[in-house]
Structure 1
Amino acid sequence: MTRSVSIIGTRGYPSYYGGFETLVRVLAPYLAQHGWDVTVYGRPEGVASEDPAIDSRVRSVITRGVETKSLSTLSYGLTSSVHSAIERPDVALVMNVANGFWLPLLKARGVPTLVNVDGIEWEREKWGRAAKSVFKVGGSLTARFATDLVYDSVELGKRWEARCGRSGVFIPYGGAVRQRGDVVEGLSRRTYALMVARFVPENTIDQFLDAARILSRKWQVVIVGSSGYGGEIDDRVAQLERECPKVTWFGHVSNDDMLFSLWENAGAYFHGHSVGGTNPALVQAMACGAPVVARDTVYNREVLGDHAVFVQPNAPAIADAIEELMTDAERQEMLSGGAADRAQDIYTWDRVCAAYDTALSQYVDKVVPAAPLHCARNGRSLNSA
């Protein structure tokens, strides 16, 4: 029996934007291989349509939306949810609590929803007051209307259960394991400090940039990432690169071979993410054997265990920890091996995809009554659209 699933809330398949997109690039073909009819909703500018790695069994549907920082998630979530409600798959996998606003549409059509809540979006510094309110309301609606929730970390699940009284299923992110590749041109193994992050305040970007100016007196510093929209932090990184010859900014890197090589050969990888649960970049860095210096949070400690150096979010502490690790080859290799082993024990894509398959499969045999969904413009049932 063919089972159908819609994946809503990412930039599409295949896409290289962030953690959700990385998950979908792996999960969608896995589900197709395991008997699912998979539809992934996306955005016109988000999909690498010429990617040779595209799995032809995965159906990609592009919908319309408003491409701005504040409205893109909501608008594309709406059009994707309406389209999915019309098609009525067996189950929908929904990413991001902002799409909680549209869960009633799917529920009215009898479509069960498994929602990956991501992090605590309303605590992210990058959002203004209005956006935080939207995420908070979306979170409440998700708690009310989602059939089930997915938490990518145990600690995140505890917070959600305390907040809304709902438990969920723990499914983290995975990391791809490969043989070590060549060092990126212009760099040498274990001689550079690395940061890979989206340029938002909660990722400790400003503090790392202050530390990078100190470190660059002696070490090469490599920065990967951008805000995605330009702005003050991007300008600051560009200025740092101009003023410090040992600082290299690669911007957003969508080439996995290059990104994995940067992690594999770094002398120290700084991970400054402070909100959210299991971070996909951190898991991949561990799988690549990067020696990690991480901001001290409950989420980072859950993922890394004892296999990292933990620091407070200030420039002197970050610079001192990285400097100490850069001069200790034995500790670099100890942290590298420990992180890689932990990733292999816990954070593998096979385990992650199998867990999603199990979580989605429980709804296939359940009969959920469907209510007619009417078009507000003319009152015609969307069943006939």
Structure 2
Amino acid sequence: MPSVAILGSRGYPSYYGGFETLVRRLAPYLADHGWDVTVLGRARSTRLDDPERDPRIHSVRTRGVESRSASTLSYGLTGALWARAAHPDVALVLNVANGYFLPLLSRAGIPTVVNVDGIEWERAKWGRAARAVFQGGAALTARYATTLVNDSEEIARYWARRYGTTGAYIPYGGTDPGRLPVPDGLATGTYVLMVARFVPENTVGEFLAAAESLVARAPVVIVGSSGYGGPLDEQARQLAAAHEHIHWYGHVADDPLLHALWQHAGVCFHGHSVGGTNPALVQAMACGAAIVARDTVYNREVLGAAGRFTQPGPAAIAEAITSLLREPDARRHLSAAARARAAERFTWEGVCHQYNQVLEDALAIKAPAGAAVEPR
């Protein structure tokens, strides 16, 4: 039985973000297809008592520093050291910040499949030093990774231009949850929804400003938080306290509730601006949300004609959402188009099948024990 170690997520099972959703779907799939699967993670972020946890998956918690600036690198290092000692047949590495540790794995003869994610150094939350760290990790990833995975075609083109790389295109998947009950206190098709981590590049501040005017037209539901507290969390708290029809749920780890919120929304706003295929957008499509998205090349690639697009200013966001709320036929059309596009292009079965194939291919170039995998 071949073995794979998955590094760079918060662990299994975890509900923090896109990488964690991928791991929750992929790890059991790989176990079904004959892999011995170990997921490296963080004690504070995993739920080992989760009833949905697959007992075949080995969850290993390593140590690290729990802070916004140091957590990724510190847990990346301890995860890589564990993998180097355990010597799995192949490692699936998530996030280019872990590029600094790829030489350790390469010299141990462990081939690596690296999901490069988005363009992390363009995120507004990072200062100059952090951006330089991510750029350094990306350069090392381009050199030392055995195989790259790009989650969007535009990201693949970016890496080809900047680093001269090629890689597999594997997006994220979504699941049609079937018909779900309307969440308590809401009415189907009447409210505006935003689901996002509270960071500037997700257009959260602009949406919160737009919510002040939107609430006069429809209830507003906000899902997300920064995870560390801060001004955006405080702004959302104050809005919910001041307006009866603005509801802030914070971070939601309950998938059925989150899917129901997408499914029954009148309009869903998606403001992510940095990176490729966003997992939350794909899942919103699978739930049949009528979507207004920030106009970026990545969101256009994912949505195609199954969404509307807006500039990121509060007035533009409010106008685009209000306009779609007034068009019930258009919302029904966009809902059906989004669901159909997700079923055609973004399914977890297809995504996991592709990862399985890429990992199997990496086994074919595994170096003998003690010999380094040839870097790029």
Please report the TM-score for the alignment, with normalisation by the length of structure 1.
0.95
Aligned match of 2:211 = 212
Q: Does residue 1:302 correspond to 2:301, yes or no?
A: yes
1:13·1:25 contact (CA, 8 Å) conserved in 2? yes
The 2-side partners of 1:363 and 1:297 are apart by 33
Q: Does residue 1:188 correspond to 2:194, yes or no?
A: no
For residues 7-40 of structure 1, the C-alpha deviation after alignment (integer angstroms, 9 at most, x for no partner) is: 0000000000000000000000000000000000
Aligned match of 1:377 = none
Q: Does residue 1:250 correspond to 2:279, yes or no?
A: no
2:89·2:366 contact (CA, 8 Å) conserved in 1? no
The 1-side partners of 2:249 and 2:291 are apart by 20
Instruction: Single out whichever of 28-37 and 234-243 deviates more from structure 2.
Output: 234-243
The 2-side partners of 1:333 and 1:350 are apart by 27
Aligned match of 1:381 = none
Q: Note the C-alpha offset of 1:298.
A: 0.4
Q: What SS class does the counterpart of residue 185 from structure 2 fall into?
A: coil
Aligned match of 1:102 = 101
Aligned match of 1:72 = 71
Q: What SS class does the counterpart of residue 37 from structure 2 fall into?
A: strand
For residues 94-147 of structure 1, the C-alpha deviation after alignment (integer angstroms, 9 at most, x for no partner) is: 000000000000001000000000000000001111111110100111111111
Q: Note the C-alpha offset of 1:295.
A: 0.3
Q: What SS class does the counterpart of residue 362 from structure 1 fall into?
A: helix
- Mapping of residues 337-356 of structure 1, within 5 Å: 337-356=336-355
Please report the TM-score for the alignment, with normalisation by the length of structure 2.
0.98
One-letter code aligned to 2:127:
G
One-letter code aligned to 1:352:
V
The 1-side partners of 2:356 and 2:366 are apart by 19
One-letter code aligned to 1:304:
L
The 2-side partners of 1:35 and 1:371 are apart by 26
1:202·1:273 contact (CA, 8 Å) conserved in 2? yes
For residues 221-241 of structure 1, the C-alpha deviation after alignment (integer angstroms, 9 at most, x for no partner) is: 000000000011101111111
Aligned match of 1:380 = none
* Unmatched tracts of structure 2, length 5 or more: none
For residues 304-355 of structure 1, the C-alpha deviation after alignment (integer angstroms, 9 at most, x for no partner) is: 0011110001111110111111121111110000000000000000000000
- Mapping of residues 21-40 of structure 1, within 5 Å: 21-40=20-39
Instruction: Single out whichever of 309-318 and 277-286 deviates more from structure 2.
Output: 309-318
Aligned match of 1:293 = 292
- Mapping of residues 1-385 of structure 1, within 5 Å: 2-371=1-370
The percentage of aligned residue pairs carrying the same residue is 57
The 2-side partners of 1:146 and 1:214 are apart by 48
1:192·1:222 contact (CA, 8 Å) conserved in 2? yes
Q: What SS class does the counterpart of residue 363 from structure 2 fall into?
A: coil
Q: Note the C-alpha offset of 1:367.
A: 4.0
**Number of matched pairs:** 372
For residues 151-174 of structure 1, the C-alpha deviation after alignment (integer angstroms, 9 at most, x for no partner) is: 000001000110000011000000
1:123·1:275 contact (CA, 8 Å) conserved in 2? yes
Q: What SS class does the counterpart of residue 48 from structure 2 fall into?
A: coil
For residues 232-285 of structure 1, the C-alpha deviation after alignment (integer angstroms, 9 at most, x for no partner) is: 110111111112221000000000000000000000000000010000000000
* Unmatched tracts of structure 1, length 5 or more: 374-385
1:108·1:370 contact (CA, 8 Å) conserved in 2? no
